[in-house]
Amino acid sequence: MWIDSHCHLDSPEFDVDRDEVVAASRAAGVEAIVNLPGHVDHFARALASRERYGCLTGFGIHPMWVAGPSAQSPRDHIAILRSWVEREKPDLIGEIGLDFYISDVNQSEQEWFFSEQLKVAREFDLPVSLHVRRSQDVILKHLRRIRVRSGFAHAFNGSSQQAMEFVRLGFCLGFGGTATFPQARRIRSLLRDVPLSSVVLETDAPDLPPSFLGAMSSTRRNSPEYLPAIGELLARERGELPAAFAAATTSNVRRVLGAD
Ligand SMILES: [Zn+2]
């Protein structure tokens, strides 16, 4: 059985067939989905998905809502986040992080939101799911300053040195659709080098479609039901048996979430 450690199941892309997607995921061998809303207005929907589908659930304010063209998170949203965490006891804080690739990057505001959310994670002793885009070293700086129990560095795309630093701080690295493309050489070599105890699998659905969705995959919807097929490809890349790879990555997610 597999776990999708990073998914946006409440995205409008799934509005037409969310029940079917979850049923297909279960049938394909996905035992749990970690569902991560990125804005305080989406937390109620995530609770409904927790209720209906048994999702593991995070609360967090995604950097895309903090800076860039769709910034819609004023600073008082941190207090709102905190009260949701206190009341509803999520499994983790996320998706949070820093994105230095977007336009109007507003780095100082992103760093403020990131460090405030790390403090919430530390206060409630929760792991975090990190969005790390062209920001590895700054993220690491904050993680050294505000120690959280553990977490996932989602869709990891840094150097092997940075990868090992995340591992040293107790993080697992998330691999998914991007690593299924043969031309993604750097990510695939990281996938081979990272210790198995620090690898988790993810879809980031509806984003980051895997190679097998075809040449038009950039316009195709990714889905948690593809996680086992992604996992089999990545197991092959590491030279592992799919069943053993599934068991190891699943237990890594459960260990990070304190749910094993
Ligand atoms: Zn995401």
Average pLDDT taken over every residue of the chain: 95
Q: What pLDDT was estimated at residue 231? A: 98
Average pLDDT over residues 2-22: 97
Q: What pLDDT was estimated at residue 70? A: 85
Element of type H or E holding 4 = strand 2-7
Q: How far is the CA of 173 from the centre of ligand 1 (A)?
A: 13
Instruction: Find all residues with CB under 8 Å of 38, minimum gap 6, and list them.
Output: 8, 60, 61, 62, 64, 65, 95
Beta bridge partners of 130: 96, 153
Residue 245 has pLDDT above 90, yes or no: yes
Instruction: Find all residues with CB under 8 Å of 160, minimum gap 6, and list them.
Output: 189, 190, 193
Q: What pLDDT was estimated at residue 57? A: 98
Q: How many degrees, rounded to 5, is the angle at CA 141 between CA 92 and CA 186? A: 80
Q: How far is the CA of 155 from the centre of ligand 1 (A)?
A: 8
Of 229, 97, 228, nearest to 158 by C-alpha is: 97
CATH number for 230: 3.20.20.140
CB neighbour burial string for 151-178, b if at least 16 within 10 angstroms, e if fewer: bbbbbbbbeeebbbbbbeeebbbbbbbb
pLDDT for 41-78, tens place per residue?
999 999 999 999 999 999 999 999 999 888 899 999 99
pLDDT band at 215 (very low <50, low <70, confident <90, very high): low
Q: How far is the CA of 131 from the centre of ligand 1 (A)?
A: 7
pLDDT band at 132 (very low <50, low <70, confident <90, very high): very high
Q: How far is the CA of 76 from the centre of ligand 1 (A)?
A: 23
Instruction: Find all residues with CB under 8 Å of 79, minimum gap 6, and list them.
Output: none
- As a whole-number percent, the residues of the chain with pLDDT over 90 amount to 93
pLDDT for 159-208, tens place per residue?
999 999 999 999 999 999 999 999 999 999 999 999 999 999 999 999 99
Of 242, 173, 179, 175, nearest to 210 by C-alpha is: 179
User: How far does Cα 254 stand from its chain's mean position?
Assistant: 14
The residue segments making up the domain with residue 38 are 2-256
Q: What pLDDT was estimated at residue 71? A: 87
Q: How far is the CA of 61 from the centre of ligand 1 (A)?
A: 11
Rounded to an integer, what distance in angstroms lies between the CA atom of residue 225 and that of residue 177? 12
Tell me how many domains the chain contains: 1
